[in-house]
Structure 1
Amino acid sequence: MNSNFKNSNLNLYLEVKTVPLLQFSVPPLPYYIVSGLAVVPTGSKHPARRNIGVFDLLVVMKGALYVGEEDRQYEVREGHSLILRPDAYHYSSFACTEETHYYWLHFHTQGEWQPIDEHMSDPAYQRDFAVEAPTFLPAYSITPFMIRVPQYTPLLQPDKFYNILQELTLMNQNFHLPGARLRQQALFQEVIQQLSDTLTTDAPSPKVACAERAAAYLRAHYQEEVTAKALGEHLNFHPVYIARCMQKVFGSSPAAYLLKYRIARAKLLLLQTDLSITRISEEVGFNHPAYFTSSFVKQEGLSPRQFRQRFA
C-alpha cells in the first residue's frame, strides 16, 4: 500500500467531528466479565468479529491499533481507549505499524443501553443530554439514572487507568478467593467512572500532565537503570519539580513508582512464565536478585517464590 495514501487515511481518524457515546440505564450497573493484556507484533491485525454479545474495551499502552466498527474507523493510540459494541461488526482497518501493547476488557449490562452520536464542541451538548435530577430521593422507590461514556477517547490520567486494568487482570488468577470477584466489580465501576469523566472534566493540569509523562517514561524504561537526571532531561523539567508532581498525582516519588511498577511486572512473569527468580529480577530491571526479593517481600508481604506457589 502506498505510504502517503495510508497516512492520509490514518489522519482521517483524528478529524472525526462527532464523538460516539454509549448510554446505559442504571440500575443495573454494567458488570465486568474478564480482561487481559495483549502484545501484537508489527504487521498483525485486530481480529474481525461480528455480534460478539459483549462490550470489548481496548486500552492501548504502547503503539497503536487500527480498528473499524461498521462505517467508523479509529486509530487507538497510546493513552486512548475504544469500546466496541456487542451488536456490531468490527474489524482491523490497517495492520499495526509497530509492536503494540494493549489491555482488552469484556463487560456487559443486563439493563437497557443505546448508542448516541453528538458533537462534543456543541455548547448545547450538556444541556440537551442533561438528566433531570429529582428534587429529593424517595425513600422506598428506585430512581433510575443514565451513565454516558465515549466509545473512543483520550484518557485523562492514562497511568491510573493502566493500574486499574493491571489489578483487574492480575485478580483473574485468584477469582476463586472470597471477595475477589466483588473487588473486581468495584474496580470496574472506577473504569466506567473514569471514562464518563472524560465527557465533563477539563484537560489535565500542568502538574498532572508532567506526572503522567514521567510515569510513561518510567514504564517504558523500567528494564534499564533510570536516573533522576535522565528523567529530567527527557521531560525538560527539574527532577525536584517532577518528584513533586508525581507525589501529588500518584502519591509516590519517581523511584517509588518505578519500584512498584517493576514489582507489578515481576508478578505477571511469576504467574505467566516458568522463568527463574533470578531471571525475572533481571527482566524487570533489578541488578541484584537479593534486592529484588527483599523489595518484593516488603511490598507484597511474601517472597517471589511464595507468591508463585500460592497460585500454582
Structure 2
Amino acid sequence: MNAHHLISLQLPPMPYYICTGLTTLRPGEQHPSRRNLGLFDLLWVVRGVLYIGEDERQWEVAEGQTLLLVPDRYHYAVRPCDTETVFYWVHFAYTGEWSQETDPAAFPPSPVRQTWANPYTVRLRQYAAPADTALGERHLHKLLHLSEEIRSAAYWSEQQLFMELLRLLEEGQAENAESPSRKLAEKTESYLRQHYHADVTNQSLAAALHFHPNYIVRSMKEIYHCTPMEYLHQYRLEQAKLLLIKTEWPIARIAERVGFHYAPYFSSCFKQYAGVTPLRFRKQYSL
C-alpha cells in the first residue's frame, strides 16, 4: 500500500519500553492475528517479507523496512511467508495523546513554548525504510540481549536504547516529510528564543534568516498560528514569569532583560497576558 500514514505521539508523557523479541517464520508460516493489543508493536524485518494488515490497510514489509502497528486495531496475516522471514518486534506503551494522519505534511499546529512546559511531538511513519538500518539492528540486538540481564542492571539501558531507536526512526521521517514552511517556522522559533532580549523586527529577522519577511510570517502562521512578533511577545512574557519566580530582581530589571524598554508597558502587557500584575504573580509563589 502506497499511502504514507504518520503516527504522532504528543510528549509528555514519554513512550515506555516493554520488551523486544526476534521471530523467525519458515515458508508457509505467518504472523498471528490479534485484536486490541493495547500496546504499540514495532516490526523491523531483517530477512524475507512479512505480509501483514491492520484493519483495511495491508503491507508487504521487506528486509530493512519497519511497520508500526497501533494499539486499538485488528492486526492479521495477509498471507503466509514465501521465504524464511526474520523480524524483530518491539512492544511499547504510551498513555498520552496520539494521532494518525494520512498526509505526513499534516502536522498538528505547534504551540508557543510555555515556561513550565517542554512539549514535543514524536512523528513516525507507520511504514518506513530507515536510512541507517545497521545502527537500528544493533540497537535491537542489544535490546534483545538486555532482556536476559538482571532487571535492575538492564532497565535504564533498555529505556535509553529504545529512545535512540525512536530517534533513528523519526530522523528518517523528518528528512522526507517536513515541509519547507515547517523547517523555516522552526528555524524562526529557534532564532526568536535565542534573541528574545534584543530588538528584533520582521526586517532584522528576514536579514538573519535570509528569507522574505512575508514568507516568514506565512510560515509562522501556518505552523504556530501566530506571527513572529506575536510569538516573540508571548515568549518574552513567559521568560518574565520565570525570572519573577527564580530571582529577586526588580520589575524594571526583568522588563529590560526580556526585551521591554519601558517597565509600565511591560507590566500592562504582563497583566493582560497572565491576568495579574507581575508583583501579584510573584507573590503567588512566595512564602
Q: State the TM bucket, normalised to the shorter chain.
A: 0.5 to 0.7
Query: How far apart, in 2, do the equivalents of 1:193 and 1:130 lie?
Result: 19
Q: Please state if 1:191 is matched with 2:165.
A: yes
Q: State the Cα deviation string for residues 123-167 of structure 1 (Å, max 9, x = none).
A: xx2xx5265364x662xx123221111111011111110000010
Matches within 5 A, 1:13-162: 13=1, 16=2, 18-118=3-103, 120=104, 125=105, 128-129=106-107, 131-132=109-110, 134=112, 138=115, 141-162=116-137
Alpha-carbon distance, 1:175 to partner: 4.0
Query: What's the TM-score once normalised by structure 1's chain length?
Result: 0.54
Matches within 5 A, 1:149-228: 149-178=124-153, 180-201=154-175
- Report SS of the residue matched to 1:19: coil
Query: How far apart, in 1, do the equivalents of 2:165 and 2:42 lie?
Result: 10
Q: Counterpart of 2:233?
A: none
Q: Which amino acid aligns with 1:165?
A: L
Q: Which amino acid aligns with 1:161?
A: G
- Report SS of the residue matched to 1:39: strand
Query: How far apart, in 2, do the equivalents of 1:130 and 1:70 lie?
Result: 24
Is there any run of 5+ residues in structure 2 with no aligned partner, and where? 177-287
Identity %, equivalent residues: 35
Q: Which amino acid aligns with 1:201?
A: E
Q: State the Cα deviation string for residues 238-274 of structure 1 (Å, max 9, x = none).
A: xxxxxxxxxxxxxxxxxxxxxxxxxxxxxxxxxxxxx
Query: What's the TM-score once normalised by structure 2's chain length?
Result: 0.59
Alpha-carbon distance, 1:48 to partner: 0.4
Query: How far apart, in 2, do the equivalents of 1:116 and 1:75 lie?
Result: 20
CA contact (8 A) 1:131 1:145 kept: no
Is there any run of 5+ residues in structure 1 with no aligned partner, and where? 1-12, 203-312
Alpha-carbon distance, 1:198 to partner: 1.7
Q: Counterpart of 2:258?
A: none
Query: How far apart, in 2, do the equivalents of 1:32 and 1:101 lie?
Result: 21
Q: Which amino acid aligns with 2:107?
A: F
Runs of 4 or more, structure 1, over 6 Å off, are none
Alpha-carbon distance, 1:43 to partner: 0.6
Alpha-carbon distance, 1:100 to partner: 0.6
Give the length in aligned residue pairs: 177
